[in-house]
Amino acid sequence: GGTILLSGTFGVGKTSLLALLGRLLSVSAPSEEFSSTLSLLDDISLVKSFSELRTNNRSWLVAVPVFDKSGSDFEASVRKALQTSLLDKKLDVALEANLSLEEACKKVSDHLRQNGYEGLLILLDEADSFIEKVLQQDKSASGLEEFCAFCRRTAPSILCVATINSE
């Protein structure tokens, strides 16, 4: 497991790289066209590292939480993204409301591993915008912080990648 933070100035391609990495890990065997595109990026160590996260052509389930402009609840956003991704792949995993976010992710990850997936990938684009909205409302961003810590200490089957703008 782990947490990877992609930081850079506005417009350098963090979101594009996030989308590329999500696509790379979400398919069992990338198409020839996609593989040739990846070969152009072969000198980027992060792309190499992500390529190595796939064993035996097993894909990752990718969940992309969407945070609204009001600084919505982090946990609710991630849960909704998990549910959407599971439905899209027709995977039947009941995420009971009494489960913590960490327990829900672990349950999903365990189910994925038993069903031929490599693991669960959570992509957080513009995480700094979410944190900024939360702090403007005098709320705590501890949900995000705790989730990233959980990903760092968990088995390798749960990975969180976030982008932030740096100026």
Tokens at residue 113, please? 């591993």
User: Do you know the residue count of the chain?
Assistant: 167
Provide the whole-model pTM: 0.83
- Res 47: pLDDT: 57
132-141 per-position pLDDT tens digit: 777 776 666 6
Q: Which residues of the chain have pLDDT under 50?
A: none
- Res 15: pLDDT: 87
What does 83-152 look like in DSSP terms, one character per residue?
HHHHHHTT------TTS-HHHHHHHHHHHHHHTT--EEEEEETTHHHHHHHHHHTT---HHHHHHHHHHH
The DSSP letter of residue 163 is E
Query: How far is residue 145 CA from its own chain's centroid?
Result: 14
Tokens at residue 70, please? 């009001």
- Res 36: pLDDT: 66
Distance between CA 2 and CA 119 in Å, rounded? 12
Which residues lie below 8 Å from residue 79, measured CB to CB, with a gap of 6+? 95, 101, 104
Distances (CA, A) of 73 to 27, 29, 70, 76, 162: 29, 35, 9, 5, 17
Distance between CA 122 and CA 166 in Å, rounded? 21
113-131 per-position pLDDT tens digit: 999 898 999 999 988 877 7
